[in-house]
C-alpha cells in the first residue's frame, strides 16, 4: 500500500471521462488499497482513481466520520440506477483545495457497481453517503465541484489560484 499524490485542479486528467474497468486483477486491487490509504491520509471521505492519475472507473468512500451508520466501501464501474429528492450541501474536494461550496445534489441515490472481489453490489445512499457517491462519480465523468457552482464563484477560485501561482514564482 502507498500514499499517492492527489492531483489538483487544473490538472487535465481531472477533466477526462474515466475508462470502464474490464478485468479485476491484482493491479486493480492494489489501486483500491492505495486509494484507500491515500484517502485516509488526506483526511477525505471519498476518492476517485482519476484523482491519483489513474483514469479508471473506481471510487472509494468512507463517510463514517460524518455518519457512523456507514462504513468503508470500494466500487468499480459504479452507476446511478435511481435518484430522488434534492438537497443543497456544502462540499469540499481533495483536488480543489480551499474550495467549500454549496452544491445541489440528489437527496437519495441507488448505485450499482462491482466489489473488489468482482461481485455486483447495489447500494442505497441518503444524506452524506448519497452526496459523496455523486461527488466521486462526478469525478469519473470529468466533472469537478467548480462545475456545479456559479460562474462568478468559479472565476473567483481561478483568480485565487493565479494569484498564488504568481506568489510562488517570485524570488
Q: Which domain holds residue 131?
A: 12-169
Domain CATH for 150: 3.90.45.10
In this prediction, residue 169 carries a pLDDT of 82
User: In the chain, pLDDT over 90 holds for what percent of residues?
Assistant: 87
In this prediction, residue 164 carries a pLDDT of 86
List, in sequence order, the alpha helices (H) in 43-150.
128-140
pLDDT band at 141 (very low <50, low <70, confident <90, very high): very high
169 or 76: whose pLDDT is higher? 76
Q: Residue 104 falls within a domain, yes or no? A: yes
Mean predicted lDDT score pLDDT of the chain: 95
Whether the CB-CB separation of 47 and 39 falls below 8 Å is answered with yes
Report the alpha-carbon distance of residue 63 to residue 46 in Å, rounded. Answer: 8
Q: Residue 5 falls within a domain, yes or no? A: no
Closest CA to 104 of 74, 62, 138, 73: 138
Report the alpha-carbon distance of residue 122 to residue 170 in Å, rounded. Answer: 52
Whether the CB-CB separation of 46 and 135 falls below 8 Å is answered with yes
| 108-136 confidence digits (pLDDT tens) | 999 999 999 999 999 999 999 999 999 99
Closest CA to 123 of 75, 68, 157: 75
pTM value > 0.75? yes
Domain count, the chain: 1
Tell me: pLDDT of 139 over 80. Answer: yes
Between strands 58-61 and 46-48, the pairing is: antiparallel
Q: Residue 162 falls within a domain, yes or no? A: yes
Residue appearing with cell numbers 450541501: 89
Buried b (16+ CB within 10 A) or exposed e, 128-142: bbbbbbbbbbbbbeb
Q: Residue 6 falls within a domain, yes or no? A: no
| 30-50 confidence digits (pLDDT tens) | 999 999 999 999 999 999 999
Report the alpha-carbon distance of residue 101 to residue 53 in Å, rounded. Answer: 24
Tell me: pLDDT of 170 over 80. Answer: no
Tell me: pLDDT of 171 over 80. Answer: no
Who's near 94: CB < 8 A, 6+ residues apart? Answer: 6, 39, 42, 44, 47, 51
Catalytically active residues are: 136
pLDDT band at 166 (very low <50, low <70, confident <90, very high): confident
Where does the chain show beta strands of DSSP type E? 46-48, 58-61, 73-84, 87-93, 96-105, 108-114, 120-126
Q: Residue 136 falls within a domain, yes or no? A: yes
| 90-99 confidence digits (pLDDT tens) | 999 999 998 9
Report, as an integer, the average pLDDT of 12-16.
97
Q: Residue 3 falls within a domain, yes or no? A: no
User: In the chain, pLDDT over 70 holds for what percent of residues?
Assistant: 99
Amino acid at each position: 500500500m502507498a500514499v499517492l499524490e492527489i492531483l489538483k485542479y487544473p490538472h487535465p486528467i481531472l477533466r477526462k471521462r474515466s475508462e470502464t474497468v474490464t478485468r479485476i486483477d491484482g493491479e486493480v486491487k492494489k489501486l483500491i488499497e492505495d486509494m484507500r490509504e491515500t484517502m485516509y491520509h488526506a483526511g477525505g471521505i471519498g476518492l476517485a482513481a482519476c484523482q491519483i492519475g489513474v483514469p479508471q472507473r473506481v471510487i472509494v468512500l468512507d463517510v463514517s466520520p460524518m455518519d457512523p451508520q456507514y462504513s468503508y466501501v470500494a466500487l468499480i464501474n459504479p452507476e446511478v440506477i435511481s435518484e430522488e429528492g434534492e438537497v443543497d450541501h456544502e462540499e469540499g474536494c481533495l483536488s480543489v483545495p480551499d474550495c467549500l461550496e454549496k452544491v445541489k445534489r440528489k437527496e437519495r441515490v441507488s448505485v450499482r457497481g462491482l466489489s473488489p472481489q468482482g461481485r455486483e453490489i447495489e447500494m442505497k445512499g441518503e444524506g452524506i453517503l448519497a452526496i459523496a457517491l455523486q461527488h466521486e462519480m462526478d469525478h469519473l465523468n470529468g466533472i469537478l465541484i467548480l462545475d456545479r457552482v456559479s460562474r462568478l464563484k468559479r472565476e473567483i477560485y481561478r483568480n485565487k489560484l493565479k494569484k498564488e501561482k504568481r506568489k510562488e514564482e517570485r524570488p
